[in-house]
């Protein structure tokens, strides 16, 4: 099985993913020159996430990997989201809660 493990990902899939990544790169550069505010950030992050998903699922073979590998990856993403959520839950509610201090360099 070790040699056939990625056997079902053929060269055709690799090249299709490659061209999709190239086209998405072109779209994200082109979109950045236009003013879609307030959507520019979401467009850029959405395209980056689509590209990242293509790399992770097909180039890194997660699509065909064992459930254990998938759990490890999802755990990593989950804890990154915990980091983001808790930091913003702190910083964005300070004014609301009348906490006077702000970290240095913020507004």
Partner 1 sequence: MSDAAPAQRQPNRLAYWYRSYAEQTESVTLGMWLFLVTEVMFFGGLFMAYMLYRTFNREAFAAASYTLDIGLGAFNTVVLIVSSLTVVLAVWAAEKGKQKQLILWLVATIVLGCTFLGVKYVEYEHKWHENKFPGPEFVFEDKRDFAHSAEPVDPDKVRMFFHIYFGMTGLHALHMIIGIGVFAVLLVNAIKGKYTQRWHDPIPVAGLYWHFVDLVWIYLFPLLYLIGRH
* Residues within the interface to partner 1 (CB under 8 A): 1-3, 5-7, 11, 14-15, 18, 21-22, 25, 28-29, 32-37, 40-41, 44-45, 47-48, 51-52, 55-56, 59-61, 65-66, 68-69, 72-73, 75-77, 79-80, 83-84, 87-88, 91-92, 105-107
CB atoms within 10 A of CB 63: 14
CB 98, min distance to partner 1, A: 18
DSSP assignment letter at 85: H
CB 33, min distance to partner 1, A: 5
Q: How far apart are CA 77 and CA 56, in angstroms?
A: 12
CB 106, min distance to partner 1, A: 4
b/e code 16-46 from CB counts within 10 Å (16+ = b): ebeeebeebeeebeeeeeeeeeeeeeeeeee
């Amino acid at each position: 099985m070790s040699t056939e493990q990625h056997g079902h990902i053929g060269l055709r899939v690799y090249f299709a993913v490659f061209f999709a990544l190239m086209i998405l790169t072109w779209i994200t550069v082109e979109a950045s020159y236009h003013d879609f505010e307030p959507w520019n950030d979401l467009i850029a992050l959405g395209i980056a996430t689509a590209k990242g998903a293509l790399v992770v699922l097909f180039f890194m073979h997660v699509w065909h990997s064992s459930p254990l590998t998938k759990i490890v990856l999802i755990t990593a993403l989950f804890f990154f989201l915990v980091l983001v959520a808790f930091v913003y839950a702190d910083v964005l509610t300070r004014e609301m809660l009348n906490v006077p201090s702000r970290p240095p360099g913020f507004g």
